[in-house]
A and B are shown apart, each in its own frame.
Chain A
Amino acid sequence: MNLLVKNGRVVDPARKMDIVTDILIRDGKIRSIGKIDNADVPKFDATGFVVAPGFFDIHVHLREPGTEEAETIATGGAAAVAGGFVAVAAMPNTKPPNDNPSITAYICAEARRASPALVFPIGAITKEQKGETLAEIGEMVEAGIAGISDDGKPVMDGRLFRRALEYAQLFDLPVIQHCEDLNLSRGGVMNEGAMSTRLGLKGMPAAAEDTMVSRDLILAEMTGGKYHVAHLSTRRAVEMVRAAKAQGMKITAEVTPHHFTLTDAAVSEYDTNAKMNPPLRTQDDVNALHAGVTDGTIDVIASDHAPHHVNLKMLEFDRAPFGITGLETAVGLALTQLKLSLSRAIELFSLNPQKIMRVQKWGIFEGSDAHLTILDPGRQWKFDVTRSRSKSRNSPFDGWQLKGKAVGTIVGGRVVYEDRN
């Protein structure tokens, strides 16, 4: 694929690059960077826009195989590029779960066939995500996984999780944990606090997350494993990660846009699109997450895109499944809600996700795969869920006015998404 990206503000913090210039792409790779006029290739006019290393959402549920009525690799990939993501990492809780190389291979093959975005599967830590025995991690690495996680089913057995942290080092794989002590949170459907008490809904205490983060940090220190905390949602968890990093531990953490944007007040009308896990917490937690993003405690913004068919979200609040879609709103919410410098935003959405996951790195340098995200940081836009590329509609952000948007997504030199307004 050949393309000339003209006259954009090219920003790559990894190379301390911030200049208005052109990028010439040939055969899917960046050939040269600089003023280029006479190239016989298609042009993408990026005048007034920011050209960044392609964004990577490392926490996404594509639902295929098994729940194609909610999302497919094709539709999830389309939603990803519409949100400015050139790549996603797909969580293994498919049906059957991605706990073996044939499922991994299927996801990779289907992604190549049908997804405009790159898809990096995440393998299960344990067979069938049951938390009993290790899955064939090495075999899945050979088939293409970029990390391991049991996601929504955290590994409760401390000994087994220790072994996972040890074994994954063989492949430099991140071990991603959804931190939740399932005994403490059992039966809960929202954050435990004044709001859950008022609404009469069973609460999930912050302690369910905090105690798991605490245990995991001790095991990560003990093993030296490559540990990544998924979707931080509590103040104390942020503080523990900050302290661990201050001690020099090589751990990483992510936050979702909904956790830094909404509080449990969003549940007040029993809106099932405000039901997610971890649950929406309090304003104090939101403030702590903002601080964590600012001071570097939090490395990554990931959407935890979790599509569900409307039939399931129409149920009673305590029966509806957890999760919301997020690929198309993540960048807009981050740029609207957080006080981010451009270079910090690019770290959170591209550089750090690439560092954490086991993937071939890209950036704005000659020879790199040409994966680019084109941003208009000033674009005012309104999210309309009825026009979402996702197959599902379960977003609490329908109708939200946002500032800042991806207006172009380029994968391997191919323009897979363009929004000229």
Chain B
Amino acid sequence: MKRKDLLGIQDLTREEILEILDTAETLQEISTRPIKKVPTLRGKTVINLFFEASTRTRTSFEIAGKRLSADVVNVTASTSSVSKGETLIDTARTLDAMAADCVVIRHSSSGAPHTIARMTKARVVNAGDGSHEHPTQALLDALTIRQRKGKLDGLKVAIVGDIAHSRVARSNAHLLTKWGSHVWLCSAPTLMPVGSDGLTENREFLHRTTSMEAALDGADVIMMLRVQFERMDESFFPSVREYFRYYGLTRAKVERARPEAIIMHPGPMNRGVEIATDVADGPYSVILDQVSAGVAVRMAILFLMLGGQSS
């Protein structure tokens, strides 16, 4: 991987994305072995620097690093000096001085990983910044879609829910429109950000609708987003009940999609808010496949960043 940091999908080329996905596919097998560990990254130090609560992404990176034999250190905001008033930059420089090879950062402020990347020698992976990007999520989603659908182009992908606050929606829209899949962003008018029609370079593949039916009609992929209550400081919809009525995924609504459609969710799910439990646990759900793909994709990224060559 030529670039120093992985900060977002927007700037990645298709070739760079394919390199990661192909590498992830070759590494997937490691996780099925009885001894799930290879010595590839022995002696490399990966620091998970998480300023925002996360269980699955942090664990996924940690497992990915450990399966490649890297030394993985978890730093969370509550235990680091950040709470003592140290600045983001000082924290990053401190970790840099400890000769970290890679810093995986999750932060509630959009752009925080970019600031850190400019200041550190260590390579930086964005594990989600504010409402900006979550590139590893989009990559693991792409791997899941490719393995289920056999391709990334020519699909209709409905991304439904809290678009305004979603870095997952942004990264996925960037990635899938690069392949010419049609991405339908669907949300209540209050959660559809201004100017989102200009979000991606390939505008002709990006569609916006407030109608869940329109988004789901003939969809190959249904991607549900978590309603991010913690980022909402104002009234975007009247109640959870009303939200679920219009934007919750039910079995009846799934019927509008193609028969072989897959249902995705980046997690953690709010069951009964954006997705009905029977759908989340139903036959079309690939939510747990996404989790497995996440480990493989993160292994691939660490492998490519810390000296590995793609085969």
Chain A contacts to B: CB under 8 angstroms: 186-187, 192-203, 205, 269-270, 311, 314-319
Q: Cβ of A200 and Cβ of B133 under 8 Å apart?
A: yes
Most buried by B among A198, A200, A205, A314: A200
In whole angstroms, what is the CA distance A316 to B118 when docked?
Answer: 13
Residue of B whose beta carbon sits closest to that of A316: B109
CB of B101 within 8 A of chain A?
no
A198 to B194 alpha-carbon distance, docked (Å): 10
Query: Smallest Cβ distance from A198 to chain B, in angstroms?
Result: 6
A206 to chain B, nearest CB (A): 10
Which residue of chain B has its CB nearest to the CB of A318?
B109
B233 CB contact (under 8 Å) in A186, A195, A200, A311: A186
Q: List A contacts of B114 (CB < 8 A).
A: 269-270
Asked whether any CB of chain A lies closer than 8 Å to the CB of B110, the reply is: yes
Chain A residues near B170 (CB-CB < 8 A): 198, 200
The 9 nearest A-B residue pairs measured at CB:
A200-B132, A270-B111, A194-B195, A200-B131, A316-B109, A194-B198, A200-B110, A197-B193, A193-B195
A-B residue pairs in contact (CB < 8 Å), sample of 27: A186-B233, A192-B195, A194-B197, A194-B198, A194-B199, A195-B195, A197-B193, A197-B196, A197-B198, A198-B10, A198-B195, A200-B110, A200-B111, A200-B131, A200-B167, A200-B170, A201-B110, A202-B131, A203-B193, A205-B194, A269-B114, A270-B110, A314-B88, A315-B87, A316-B112, A317-B110, A318-B130
Measured between beta carbons, the chain B residues less than 8 angstroms from A203 are 193-194
CB of B199 within 8 A of CB of A198, answer yes
Which residues of B lie under 8 Å from residue A201 when comparing CB positions? 110-111, 130-132
Name which residue of chain A comes closest to B119, CB basis: A314
Partner of A196, one of B109, B167, B195: B195
Residues of A within 8 Å of B167, CB to CB, are: 200
Q: Is B279 among interface residues, defined by CB-CB distance under 8 A?
A: no
B107 sits at the interface (CB 8 A): yes
Instruction: List the count of A-B residue pairs having beta carbons below 8 Å apart.
Output: 75
Name the distance in Å between A230's Cβ and chain B's nearest Cβ: 25
Q: How far apart are the CA atoms of A202 and B132 in the complex, in Å?
A: 10
Q: How far is B197's CA from A47's CA once the two chains are assembled, in angstroms?
A: 56
**Chain A min CB distance to B236 (Å):** 13
Minimal beta-carbon separation of B181 from chain A (angstroms): 19
A199 pairs with B87, CB closer than 8 A: no
- Tally of contact residues, B, Cβ under 8 A: 27
B129 near A: Cβ within 8 Å?
Answer: yes
Q: Which of B181-203 contact A (CB under 8 A)?
A: 193-199
B234 within 8 A of A: yes
Residues of A within 8 A of B198 (CB): 194, 197-198
Whether the Cβ atoms of A316 and B196 lie closer than 8 Å is no
Report the minimal beta-carbon distance from A368 to chain B, rounded to whole angstroms.
Answer: 50
Does B115 reach chain A (CB closer than 8 Å)?
Answer: yes
Tell me if B304 counts as interface (CB < 8 A to partner A): no
Is the Cβ of B199 less than 8 Å from the Cβ of A186? no
Q: Chain B interface (Cβ within 8 Å of chain A)?
A: 10, 87-89, 107, 109-112, 114-115, 129-133, 167, 170, 193-199, 233-234
Closest Cβ of chain B to A179, distance in Å, is 20
* Set B89, B110, B193, B196: member contacting A314, Cβ < 8 A: B89
- When chains A and B are docked, how far (Å) is the Cα of A200 from the Cα of B133? 8
B52 to chain A, nearest CB (A): 12
* Complex alpha-carbon distance, A245 and B262, angstroms: 60
Contacts of B197 in A (CB 8 A): 194
Contact between chains at A199 and B195 (CB < 8 Å): no
Nearest Cβ on chain B to A210's Cβ, whole angstroms: 14
A202 to chain B, nearest CB (A): 8
Are A319 and B193 in contact, with the CB atoms below 8 A? Answer: no
A319 to B88, CA, bound (A): 11
A197 to B131 alpha-carbon distance, docked (Å)? 8
A199 x B110 contact (CB < 8 A): yes
Most buried by A among B89, B107, B195, B198: B195
Once A192-B194, A319-B109 are accepted as A-B contacts, the answer to whether A197 and B115 lie under 8 Å apart by CB is no
Given contacts A201-B130, A311-B87, whether A318 and B110 have CB atoms under 8 Å apart is yes
Q: How many Å from the CB of A315 to the closest CB on chain B? A: 6
In angstroms, Cα B87 to Cα A319, docked, is 11
Complex alpha-carbon distance, A280 and B130, angstroms: 21
Given contacts A197-B196, A199-B110, A200-B111, list 14 more A-B pairs with CB under 8 A. Answer: A186-B233, A186-B234, A187-B233, A192-B195, A193-B194, A194-B195, A195-B195, A198-B170, A199-B111, A199-B132, A200-B132, A201-B130, A270-B110, A317-B115
Q: Which residue of B lies closest to A194 (CB)?
A: B195
CB distance from B169 to the nearest CB of A (A): 10
Nearest Cβ distance between residue A85 and chain B, in whole angstroms? 33
